[in-house]
Amino acid sequence: MRKVDLPSIPALQAFERAAARSSFADAARDLGRTPSAVSHAIKDMEQRLGVTLFERVGRTVRVTEAGTVYLNAVQTALSGLGVATQRLTRSEDRNVIRISALPFFTSAILLPTLGQFEAKHPNYDLRIETTNAYADVLNGDFDIALRFGEEHSEDLVCKPLIAICGQPIAAPAYLHSAPPLNRPADLQKHTLIHVRANEQAWDEWCRAQGSDQLEATRNLTFDSILGALDAVSKGLGIALGMHPLINAYHGYGQDFVPVLVPAKDWVISYNFVCQRVALEDRKIQATLKWLERSLAGISE
């Protein structure tokens, strides 16, 4: 059999992510790489294979017919590698549950209810990684990923856990000394706090409220939601909290309070993602039920 010069696994991962997200930039964010690195990896693949895998459509990309055929094989191969890796190590970690979650979700939901899970399931060993980076469930790096965004792989299950919308929050001390805040347009007189990964969030919130794009008096940008919340509690400005998750975060009602109203016409889902073949595993079901119980108390 003639030896085939196969693309590298990182290149195949870049291809799979770009296809799932219809964006090189989003694929790069998922993989913790630069958009340039993802673009070069896919360009090298196209040259190596002699086919065009993507069509560029404005700021997005669309998989070609040839790319779709190849994508199905790549997803199957990556999934097979993940399952094989899991089976190889299953004897050592059958009771280990590897979870990837956003730092804010970990702090607001997982940690306060972790004792309840451990009391009910003392034989399971939870390993929680708090990260904003993409968690590769398909290849077996994690058993469960808790994150925003849909998954388009047939080998993954994506179950919505809770619907999230933006809720402006501020410290009582800040509101006491700041200009009045009675309607969305009043935000222009205030300092707005942003998170770098989603700097358009305030504009989206305003559109959902039927208001024009904001031109705030001052803007502060942080690289994490936790950093933004810390700035809010210190009275540095107004941020968008994740409603209703923000209700469960320590300091809510004291260090910071809701102002105006949540943008309920701008809703995104926070999801539970696992491999389809693992969904009925006892440890996966135990984790899912724990999360559903934890979130039921704060959902509207």
Class of domain 9-80: mainly alpha
Are 54 and 17 a contacting pair, CB within 8 Å?
A: no
- In this prediction, residue 173 carries a pLDDT of 94
Q: Is CATH 3.40.190.10 the classification given to domain 164-267?
A: yes
* Alpha helices (H) along the chain: 9-21, 24-31, 35-49, 65-93, 103-105, 111-120, 172-177, 201-208, 225-233, 282-296
Residues of the chain where predicted confidence (pLDDT) is lower than 70:
1-3, 86-93, 152, 299-300
- In this prediction, residue 87 carries a pLDDT of 64
- In this prediction, residue 83 carries a pLDDT of 72
- In this prediction, residue 52 carries a pLDDT of 93
CATH T-level fold of 86-160+269-296: D-Maltodextrin-Binding Protein; domain 2 (3.40.190)
Give the residue extent of every domain in the chain: 9-80, 86-160+269-296, 164-267
How far apart (Å, rounded) are the C-alpha atoms in residues 70 and 118?
A: 43
Asked if domains 86-160+269-296 and 164-267 share a fold, the reply is yes
- In this prediction, residue 2 carries a pLDDT of 59
Structure tokens at 80: 């097979």
93-123: per-residue pLDDT in tens?
678 999 999 999 999 999 999 999 999 999 9
